[in-house]
Structure 1
Amino acid sequence: MTVLLLAGTQDAAVLADALLVAQVTAVASLARPMPRAMPLALPTRIGGFGDADGFATYLRAAGITKVLDATHPFATRMTARSLAVCRTLGLPYLCLARVPWVAGPGDDWRHVATEAEAATLIPPGSTVFLGTEHLTLDRFATLAGRRVICRVMDPPTAPFPFDGGEFLIGRPPFSVAQERDLFAALGVGWMVVRNAGGEASRTKLTAARDLGIPVVMIRRPPQPDAPVTDDMAAAVAWAAGR
């Protein structure tokens, strides 16, 4: 039995450690290299599979018997493709998905369906903290005309894709106090995030609430009808066949 762990998130890194401890034979897959990231605890292949046929070919050649999907909640095309291929090949599939964030007392969240809609809520000239990965920055081009700050872990290799943007280098985790001090120093007036869920990255939302910063929350896209859990221990037990 060999489990394929579709990785690329912090949850996947934790899962890799847990699978190793549980003595589950597994291999991890990353769509792209993760600069400066700690190596995963499992043997790791790097690079995409191409299309569905390429993914199926890999699963057969590698002798994969189960697929555990711990990719980003917004990577819905990858999840849908993985699920479809597994169903075609008759392979068990499970998705580990974080519980979405839910606004609490004092939170000022404005929900939108797409990145482009953020600009309809944020006035020109505002200072915006963009709490999303930089690889999809081009989707936020409608925010041009505002000061847009995107935090990245590593120095960027390309310029900001639209006028008014700037990169900020920082490596998580960040405490609420650190986020609060940062946002106050930068004069952040708005925040834009995708509803990825997870406690570790919620500190920026708590800091925004403390400072009265409105948050434009991008809803998760419709999720594929897949077997899913938000329980790490249950995912490990499933992979181990228990």
Structure 2
Amino acid sequence: MIADIHLQPDDAHPINQAFHQFLTTHAQQAAALYILGDCFEMWVGDDVGCKVYGKTLSLFKELTAKGLPIYMMFGNRDFLMRQRFWQITGISHIKEPGLVKIGDFSALICHGDGLCTDDIEFQKMRKILRHPIITWLFLRLPQKKRISIGEGMRAKSQKYNLNKAENIMDVNQQAVEALFDAHPGVTHLIHGHTHRAAHHTYELNSQTFHRWVLGDWRPEMQYLKIQNGEASLHSWSPFG
């Protein structure tokens, strides 16, 4: 499982190059690949994204055509993929929170931004941007206008995060517990968004709960491997 690649609109970018190498080497050893949001730095519609990220989409298609299942959920930067994207790549869309069962291992999966409830302004904007009417209207704007808006929002977000306290950009423990409460019997949660790869545990009612956080791709990729009923975090670099 991976998240937060933040592919740039330039195939020559080091992150894109590393991800393409990952798809043509390491990913092919997996039984399935899960991407938990923010695969792309920005997605302003299939008519734009499918051209800008054409090479990546072709590599996705090569993998799914060979029989490798790939599952993807929306992130806070790329939640506007529609039918054309799924058809071109052969990727299956997962809504969040999702519940996955891999052998004897079961876990809840989500991007993670919805758990950062201490960041009130972010949650307000998230609710507005994901409203069906807003997305419907946005996707009907001219391409240049959508690209301009997307780049402007990305710049504003980066500036906003520089002046934001670190703690409010992390997940809220009560939000995590509420998610587990809504899915009794599940004791593992996997998410991205915060870019803070780690394995957290806490005890409640004599039961241990696990929260696995996926890292980003700067400077090396962090991924979660599930094998023989157990999860473990690993690093991967195209430089070995």
TM-score grouping bracket, smaller chain normalisation: 0.3 to 0.5
Rg bigger for which structure? 1
Q: Looking at secondary structure, tell me which structure has more helix per residue.
A: 2
- TM-score, with normalisation over the residues of structure 2? 0.34
- TM-score, with normalisation over the residues of structure 1? 0.33
